[in-house]
A = this chain, B = another copy of it.
Amino acid sequence: MATDSDFTPIREVGEFGLIDRMKTILGKPTNDDVLAGISDDAAVYRIDDDHVHVMTTDVLIEGVHFDRLINPMEYLGMKSIAVNVSDVVAMNAEPRYATVGLGLPETVSVEQVESFYQGMRKACERYGVTVVGGDTSAAHQLTISVTVVGEARTRDVVYRRGAAPGDLLCVTGDLGGAFAGLKILLRQRQELQERGDDFAPNVEEYQYVIQRHLVPTARLDVVRAWREAGVKPHALIDLSDGLGSDIHHVCTQSGCGAELHVAAVPVALETRRVADEFEEDVDTFALFGGEDYELLFAAARDDLEKIEDESYSVIGRFTAESDVTVKMPDGTTFPLGKGGYDHFRDESGT
């Protein structure tokens, strides 16, 4: 066992450093039914000759992932299901069952827990999920740990590892909105704290971006439409950490690189307006904001022709070189580092 003198702070290795250590210590799965382990959005294991289940866990902790002053309990209930469903969707699978672990501080009331459950129910109805179990305990911080199991035909599953040079780099929806919403909510929280009850938050004007942050949508609609159209992307990931970080996961596992055109990255008008208001660069929101829960995928041009045009944007292509290059609107390029969001390195409130 380690002695007290060996004390490496976790922030020195970060979340991905811990995952690497976990993989090394646990070793490669010896169970042949495991088709994907700790390296994708969700694990994949065989349940019969033609079907697999996928399984994923997300932990949401007060003060790290959310702030109860700006995240109402009902929305937290919805979000805690949606972010896990998003991981199931990112394997091209259908969500089925969930368990919910809750750590509840004394400052949370029974009524608030009920609001949380009501939010969970709404999200479960929307995505076809059944909550089959859970565990609750006292805790100092509100802690939410949800596990979702989903189902797919073995041949439908899409991994992160399938992108090939020449594939088009695509995303669904628009990016940066969740981060813009967070900026607005944090500003409103500050105004509320400074001006007390006199202050009425302006929610109307920023409805779209606030909702993007508080209640993200898992794009189950998109993968269902793909399956109906007979389209299967080559690689797939959900955009939780942020485009700039998640693109690296796909490239590393696929053994290729990518070229990303910033001018082509879809951004909503309201997101752009918020960036302007804060005098910040909207491209930063879109590249590094995170938490949009849209899908990034690699696809052949032929496949894209079978999909509805409005559901996605082509923002670049995969390349044979191993690095990720960003092309700015003015024609300049820069290499995109691997740094994404790491909860151990930044505790600034989201």
CA distance in complex: A103, B57 (Å): 13
Residue of A64, A106, A136 ringed by the most chain B CB atoms within 10 A: A136
Return the contact of A9 from the options B7, B110, B133 (Cβ within 8 A).
B110
Return the contact of A21 from the options B11, B25, B59, B117 (Cβ within 8 A).
B117
A55 CB contacts on chain B under 8 angstroms: 97, 99, 132-133, 147, 149
A201 CB contacts on chain B under 8 angstroms: none
Contact present for B101 and A10 (CB under 8 Å): no
CA distance in complex: A335, B242 (Å): 59
CA distance in complex: A97, B44 (Å): 10
Return the contact of A61 from the options B42, B134, B137 (Cβ within 8 A).
B137
Q: Look across to chain B and name the residue whose beta carbon is closest to the beta carbon of A111.
A: B2
Contact present for A61 and B138 (CB under 8 Å): yes
Contacts A6-B109, A64-B137, A143-B143; A121 near B26 (Cβ below 8 A): yes
Answer whether residue A308 sits at the interface, using C-beta atoms and an 8 A cutoff.
no
Answer whether residue A192 sits at the interface, using C-beta atoms and an 8 A cutoff.
no
Copies per complex of this chain? 2
Return the contact of A34 from the options B45, B65, B130 (Cβ within 8 A).
B130
CA distance in complex: A147, B22 (Å): 16
Answer whether residue A104 sits at the interface, using C-beta atoms and an 8 A cutoff.
yes
* Interface bits A114-155 vs B (CB < 8 Å: 1, else 0): 110110110010000011111111111101010101000000
Answer whether residue A320 sits at the interface, using C-beta atoms and an 8 A cutoff.
no
Residue of A2, A38, A343 ringed by the most chain B CB atoms within 10 A: A2
* Interface bits A296-312 vs B (CB < 8 Å: 1, else 0): 00000000000000000
- A–B Cβ pairs within 8 angstroms, 11 of them: A2-B112, A6-B111, A19-B134, A21-B110, A21-B113, A45-B96, A47-B48, A61-B137, A101-B147, A138-B344, A145-B145
Chain A positions within 8 Å of B, measured between CB atoms, are 1-2, 6-13, 15, 17-19, 21-22, 25-27, 29-31, 33-34, 36-38, 42-43, 45, 47-48, 53, 55-59, 61, 63-65, 72-74, 96-97, 99-104, 106, 108-115, 117-118, 120-121, 124, 130-141, 143, 145, 147, 149, 343-344, 347
